[in-house]
Amino acid sequence: MKRLLLAVCVAFFLSWSGFAQTSTDDSPATKADVERYFQAVKSHDMMKKMMGSMTQSMHQMMHEQYLKHKDDLPADYESKMTAMMDDMFANMPMDEMMQAMVPAYQKLFTKGDMDNLVAFYSSPTGEKVLHELPAIMAESMRDVMPIMTKYMDTVKQTLLKKTEAMIAESKKQPNASAPAANN
């Protein structure tokens, strides 16, 4: 789930690249350019809001899982898992994550790209995008989580069936590593 969360965050930030094309400075983006962009898009605040949206969706998903399996789980399962998840998100090293993303931006974007992105997100339309994005993410996550859950259940069942088939097949075949019988 952590990898999924990180992938969503990275994809989210990289998806912002398709806006505004005015500067043509093709020199490589510097760390300062990328940090200026992060500041323009209020990336730290945006990540916090996205984490809040994801947390709500994950809480809902966890609640649904609890309801499915409550006979097999302790009574305090949901409250303990909620506290653990909240703690995980509260202690997520966002500043470190943002700094880890800087080289990818430097590799993929020029100084002109960064200038254009900053200009776009400083415009009224860009500011609207930034303002509305948390609501879009929350609504999207709410709508996507049931699909993801269903898909993951299908993947899990497929993997279990394939594993069982492989185990059954390997039991049918003679053990190649066993010593040959003396004649």
Over its length of 183 residues, how does the chain's per-residue pLDDT go in tens digits? Answer: 555 454 455 555 545 444 444 677 899 999 999 999 999 998 888 787 777 777 777 888 788 888 888 888 888 888 888 888 888 888 888 889 899 999 999 999 999 999 999 999 999 999 999 889 878 887 888 888 889 989 999 999 999 999 999 998 888 887 655 555 555
Helix or strand (DSSP H, E) at 99: helix 94-108
Determine the Cα angle at 81 with ends 80 and 86, to 5°: 100
Cβ neighbours, 10 Å, residue 9: 21
For the chain, the helix, strand and coil percentages under 3-state DSSP, each to the nearest 5: 80, 0, 20
146 vs 140: CA distance, rounded Å:
11
Residue corresponding to tokens 């880890």: 100
172 vs 142: CA distance, rounded Å:
46
What pTM was computed for the model?
A: 0.57
